[in-house]
Amino acid sequence: MPYLANPTRYDSMNYRRCGRSGLQLPAISVGLWQNFGEMDALGNCRNILRTAFDAGITHFDLANNYGPPAGAAEETFGRLYKDDFKAYRDELIISTKAGYGMWPGPYGDGGSRKYLVASLDQSLRRMGLDYVDIYYHHRPDPTTPIEESMAALDALVRQGKALYVGLSSYSPEETRRASAVLRELGTPCLIHQPKYSLLVRDIEDGLLDVLAEEGIGCIAFSALAQGVLTDKYLQGVPADSRAARRLGNGAIEESQLSPASLEKARQLNELAQSRGQSLAQMALAWVLRDPRMTSVIIGASKPQQVTDAVGSLANAQFSPDELARIDQMLA
Ligand SMILES: NC(=O)c1ccc[n+]([C@@H]2O[C@H](COP(=O)([O-])OP(=O)(O)OC[C@H]3O[C@@H](n4cnc5c(N)ncnc54)[C@H](OP(=O)(O)O)[C@@H]3O)[C@@H](O)[C@H]2O)c1
């Protein structure tokens, strides 16, 4: 059966302006870092993306190295895009990134113009796209002048291969410098993608202020701490969970499920229940409580997790007392 998107998909999603740009992003976005590799069932991948788009999630986040193996998530996405989403291209914001090791030799990693240009060409081929909406430098490369990396991003926009550019995991100082170079070139930085969750809050100490000053949007990753900020690990480690699957490449492992973070999750779970939502929903709503946050990118191994995430928007307000209690639990 050809896919027909849900006609009511735009009725309930909340769209938030990305910094001082003209672009709006859905409050919840979906990322393909995990669960879209070669060993993942294509039917499940398809159902996750359809569930997302049907709920008004217009933004899918990729990178050259997502898989495993590296490149596989873009290939999976390309297949599903061709089957299901091609007719909806103008309703989608598709992002990809380069910055981690992709191919052997000195040009397959880092921040050189050579790498950033070649990598985007490869990503476009894997996804079967003419252009991406957002192209990110995935991490700072201190061995390449920031001017060179930013000039490469700007050139790709001018060539029509990307509409906007972004930065990921740049420090506040690096972000300020990169933003100044991009502005000078005429391609303002659209967005920054940092790690942010109830358990990892360092962007509150500077980066968010820089983004607000520079007019750059913010999209948080690993807001569920790869599943720790859900109720899934509170009674042990389910066999099909990310922590049990030994995926490598940065995926959480059982040994990283510390008693301290699980205890915090347990306390937070009680508060979430008193708010009438799941811990995952409260964790996402909490990230979105800051008006400087444009969107939060969730990972999902099942369509139901996307639906659960979207449900967080039904109760996104926190009283000062709830926020204070959360701070106490995390202290
Ligand atoms: N820029 C960067 O450097 C960077 C780095 C990492 C991620 N990202 C982006 O951010 C995206 C999300 O990252 P992430 O996967 O670490 O995010 P996350 O949202 O913190 O974790 C996602 C995982 O949590 C579990 N989960 C999600 N919803 C759940 C629910 N309702 N109940 C129980 N478990 C649930 C699932 O794991 P199970 O498999 O256990 O079900 C899911 O795969 C990535 O896909 C990528 O696009 C960017």
Count CA within 13 A, CB hemisphere, residue 228. Answer: 23
Which residue's CA is the nearest one to ligand 1's atom 22?
299
pLDDT at 249: 84
Average pLDDT, the chain: 97
191 DSSP β-pair partners: 166, 217
Which residue's CA is the nearest one to ligand 1's atom 45?
31
Cα→Cα distances 28→81, 121, 128, Å: 19, 28, 24
The residue to mutate among 305, 307, 308, having the most atoms of ligand 1 within 8 angstroms of its beta carbon, is: 305
The residue to mutate among 74, 137, 230, 235, having the most atoms of ligand 1 within 8 angstroms of its beta carbon, is: 230
E strand segments, 72-154: 93-98, 132-137
Helix (H/G/I), strand (E/B), else coil: 272: helix
Closest ligand 1 atom to Cα of 225? 20
What are 224's two structure tokens? Answer: 């569920």
For the chain, domain boundaries: 15-257+280-318
CATH tag, 15-257+280-318 = 3.20.20.100
- Determine the Cα–Cα distance for residues 70 and 106; give it in Å rounded to an integer: 17
pLDDT at 247: 87
9 DSSP β-pair partners: none
276 exposure class (CB count in 10 Å sphere: 0-12, 13-18, 19+): exposed
pLDDT at 1: 77
Helix axes 207-214, 172-185, angle to 10 degrees: 20
pLDDT at 143: 97
Q: What is the DSSP letter of 147?
A: H
Residues of the chain with pLDDT under 70: none
* pLDDT tens digits, 52-99: 999 999 999 999 999 999 999 999 999 999 999 999 999 999 999 999
Instruction: Judge whether 12 and 56 are in contact, CB under 8 Å.
Output: yes
pLDDT at 66: 97
* Closest C-alpha among 163, 293, 289, 164 to residue 219: 293
Q: Omega into 68 within 30° of 0, i.e. cis?
A: yes
Instruction: Judge whether 309 and 281 are in contact, CB under 8 Å.
Output: yes
